[in-house]
Amino acid sequence: QSVLTQPPSASGSPGQRVTISCSGSSSNIGRNTVNWYQHLPGTAPKLLIYDNDQRPSGVPDRFSGSKSGTSASLAISGLQSEDEAEYYCAAWEDSLNGHVLFGGGTKLTVL
Amino acid sequence: QVQLQQSGPGLVKPSGTLSVTCTVSGGSISNYFWSWIRQPPGKGLEWIGYVYHSGRTSYSPSLKSRVTMSIETSRLQFSLKLTSVTAADTAVYYCARERDLNYMNGAFEIWGRGTMVTVSS
């Protein structure tokens, strides 16, 4: 069971804005930055957001990230059919000598 | 641009050792953290551990008793070994590179294509 908690599913219609939450604790999100991944079946995950709110080159500005306290959120505006995918948050966990935690994933459905 | 090419057997017998290698092309292996991540069928992503170019390693607490990672900088390769495997270790195994030099925080910018490893007799 993941220590980073995400809703198992989310949905929205084309053009809408959706948000996906990621809840952690003081030893992970509370002290470290959050990263977000988009994962399509049969492909490698793609880094969507790093350091809470930074987009790698090539990622559309429809994707944005934020963090407050021990929680983080990914927002997708102007939803498109190709955004249908699994989304994961990830953060460094300081306990037990440190390790990376992934959230359980959120399946986004574009209606 | 940097690419990661994975290689390794797709089938491992129970109680055996899983081995996967990742070869770096188009860039340097130095000054980066190199991780292994897996995804069992129908489940989410799980970080297994990292190896730094110096050979320093860190493993997931849940797997550390069975995991060994190594790096050969001259061959631009790093490897994962997982011992005493069971069906629960059946997964797609990915190698990945951290985004920033000399920094580890789970921002994996470059990924291998994944190796499906099945544990079965």
Using alpha carbons, select from B30, B5, B1 the residue that is nearest to residue B113: B5
The DSSP string of A56-109 is PTT--TTEEEEEETTEEEEEE-S--GGG-EEEEEEEEE-STT-EEEEB--EEEE
Contact yes or no for A44 and B107 at CB 8 A: no
Contact B115, B6 (CB under 8 A): yes
Q: CA of A54, closest CA in chain B: separation in Å?
A: 11
What is the radius of gyration, based on Cα positions, of chain A?
A: 13
Task: Using an 8 Å CB-CB cutoff, list chain A residues near B59.
Answer: 99
| DSSP run (H or E) holding A30 | none
- Over the stretch A65-84, which tens digit does the pLDDT of each residue have? 999 999 999 999 999 999 99
B82 CA: distance to closest CA in chain A (Å): 17
pLDDT in tens, B61-103: 999 999 999 999 999 999 999 999 999 999 999 999 999 888 8
Answer whether A105 sits within 8 Å of B99, measured CB to CB.
Answer: no
pLDDT of residue A36 exceeding 80, the answer is yes
